[in-house]
């Protein structure tokens, strides 16, 4: 583990004034953002590059982080990273209990600390991360916080005050694959594994920016991606999604995409008292009665209670707090889920939903013949 020699002190300060002494690794800089937690045992390189964590300082509750380093930034033939969920580190900082300074893995390219240093991202270790997670839970799952080095104070920063999708989405249309199904992918800060899951299913992907007017595009199915921030700020995309609903082309929303589809359908969203930020959230399908373990990272929830039994119904429900985890149209090919069926590094229990989406496209094509 981290050698006792040459430890550099750092501090975590939360918005309520609580201060934690720790030691820093990664870049020797201070940082500020929204402090959240993640319960995954593995997959820290994927989480750190997940655009849904944009502007957040992530607390990893698993007690050992960094033990297998980080893999290389290699790319597949479609110019998609083989191992990461985006092409850059998205978090503003890391909080961990114990840091392993002697990592080893057959696919390791460099240590976690060196990687963070290279991208000017700080981390703290020597923290009671489970205590921090419990404290965050009592404060709605997140608090503003800052990582400070000695004598380097900075102000608090609330990333939710910014349009985060504008920071993590692409700037122009991009095309991937050469499959038989034309998928329009609305990018609010998507995870790369959404691309991988669609490419495995014989799709051509037309990836467009979050604010792109796609009303004149031709496609077989629409995917609305995950992304950071408050769904209510995306008024223009919600308008375009309403236009897509009128065309009755299959739609699949993921995470933020679930909330945006729900708002476009007439639903509402609100902030969760206890946000879902873990790799082990249990959900149940109200279609089949089957339960699944899912990966989630969101602070807002969709409420469609006032439009139930009209056109929409709840697709999945959270088994911890009974909140809505997805919606599905009663007659038309539209559905969405709050969790990540493309979760990388897992769980992959619900990846079958991509097959469900492709089946809707096939049925739609047959009806149109």
Tokens standing for residue 93: 């900082």
**Residue that has been written with the tokens 């038309």 in this structure:** 332
Whole-number pLDDT of residue 19: 95
Question: For 3-17, 37-51, 93-107, 308-322, which range has the lowest pLDDT when averaged over its residues?
Answer: 3-17
| Higher pLDDT pick, 76 / 34 | 34
Q: Which CATH number fits domain 9-161: 3.50.30.20, 3.30.565.10, 3.80.30.20, 3.90.105.10?
A: 3.50.30.20
Provide the β-strand partners of residue 324.
317
Q: Which residues of 118-151 are buried (b: 16+ CB within 10 A; e: fewer)?
A: eeebbbbbbbebeebbebbeeeebbbbbbbbbee
**Is the pLDDT assigned to residue 6 strictly greater than 60?**
no
The predicted model gives 303-322 an average pLDDT of 89
Q: What percent of the chain has pLDDT over 70?
A: 98
**Is the pLDDT assigned to residue 3 strictly greater than 50?**
no
Active site annotation includes 340: yes
**Is the pLDDT assigned to residue 5 strictly greater than 70?**
no
Whole-number pLDDT of residue 4: 44
The predicted model gives 204-228 an average pLDDT of 97
The predicted model gives 46-68 an average pLDDT of 93
> For the chain, what are the domain ranges?
9-161, 165-368
The predicted model gives 13-19 an average pLDDT of 95
**Is the pLDDT assigned to residue 73 strictly greater than 70?**
yes
Question: For 25-39, 164-178, 236-250, 307-321, which range has the lowest pLDDT when averaged over its residues?
Answer: 307-321
Is the domain defined by 165-368 classed in CATH 3.40.50.450?
Answer: no
Return d(Cα 53, Cα 184) in angstroms, integer: 24
CB 124 within 8 A of CB 23: yes
Return d(Cα 307, Cα 312) in angstroms, integer: 7
Q: Crossing angle for the helix pair 235-247 and 256-264, nearest 10 degrees?
A: 70
**Is the pLDDT assigned to residue 14 strictly greater than 50?**
yes
Whole-number pLDDT of residue 79: 87
Strand order in the sheet with 181-187: 174-176, 203-209, 181-187, 221-224, 251-254, 334-337, 324-329, 312-318, 268-285, 291-303
Residue 166, preceding bond cis, omega within 30 degrees?
no
Give the pLDDT band of residue 367 (cuts 50, 70, 90): confident
Active-site residue (options: 24, 255, 324, 325): 255
CB contact set of 30 (below 8 Å; sequence gap of 6+): 122, 146, 147, 148, 149, 152, 153, 154
Give the pLDDT band of residue 1 (cuts 50, 70, 90): very low
Where are the alpha helices (H) located in 28-111, listed in sequence order? 44-48
Active-site residue (options: 24, 298, 329, 340): 340
| Higher pLDDT pick, 39 / 334 | 334
Whole-number pLDDT of residue 217: 94
- What value does the mean pLDDT of the chain take? 92
Phi-psi region of 316 (alpha: psi -120 to 50; beta: other; left: phi over 0): beta
Give the pLDDT band of residue 2 (cuts 50, 70, 90): very low
The predicted model gives 94-107 an average pLDDT of 94
Active-site residue (options: 34, 46, 325, 342): 342
**Is the pLDDT assigned to residue 195 strictly greater than 60?**
yes
Return d(Cα 337, Cα 260) in angstroms, integer: 11
């Amino acid at each position: 583990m981290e050698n006792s020699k040459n430890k550099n002190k750092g501090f975590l300060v939360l918005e309520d004034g609580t201060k934690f002494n720790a030691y820093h690794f990664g870049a020797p800089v201070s940082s500020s953002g929204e402090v959240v937690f993640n319960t995954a045992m593995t997959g820290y390189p994927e989480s750190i590059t997940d655009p849904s964590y944009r502007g957040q300082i992530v607390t990893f509750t698993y007690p050992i982080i960094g033990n297998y380093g980080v893999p290389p930034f290699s790319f597949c033939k479609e110019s998609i990273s083989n191992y990461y969920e985006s092409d850059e580190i998205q978090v503003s900082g890391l909080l961990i209990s114990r840091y392993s300074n002697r990592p080893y893995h057959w696919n390791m390219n460099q240590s976690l600390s060196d990687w963070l240093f290279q991208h000017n991202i700080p981390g703290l270790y020597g923290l009671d991360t489970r205590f921090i997670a419990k404290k965050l839970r009592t404060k709605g799952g997140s608090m503003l916080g800052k990582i400070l080095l000695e004598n380097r104070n900075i102000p608090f920063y609330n990333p939710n005050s910014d349009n985060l999708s504008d920071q993590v989405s692409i700037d122009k249309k991009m095309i991937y694959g050469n499959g038989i199904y034309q998928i329009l992918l609305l990018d609010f800060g998507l995870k790369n594994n959404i691309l991988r899951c669609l490419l495995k299913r014989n799709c051509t992907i037309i990836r467009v920016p979050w604010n792109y007017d796609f009303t004149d595009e031709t496609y077989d199915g629409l995917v609305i991606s995950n992304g950071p921030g408050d769904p209510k700020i995306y008024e223009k995309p919600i308008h375009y999604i309403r236009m897509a609903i009128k065309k009755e082309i299959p739609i699949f929303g993921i995470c933020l995409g679930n909330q945006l589809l729900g708002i476009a359908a007439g639903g509402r969203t609100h902030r969760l008292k206890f946000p879902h930020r873990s790799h082990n959230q249990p959900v149940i399908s109200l279609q089949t009665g089957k339960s699944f373990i899912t990966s989630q990272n969101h602070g807002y929830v969709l409420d469609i209670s006032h439009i139930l039994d009209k056109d929409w119904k709840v697709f999945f429900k959270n088994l911890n707090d009974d909140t809505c985890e997805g919606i599905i149209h009663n007659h038309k090919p539209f559905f969405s889920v709050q969790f990540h069926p493309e979760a990388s590094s897992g769980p992959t229990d619900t990846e079958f939903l991509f097959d469900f989406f492709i089946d809707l496209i096939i049925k739609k094509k047959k009806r149109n013949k």
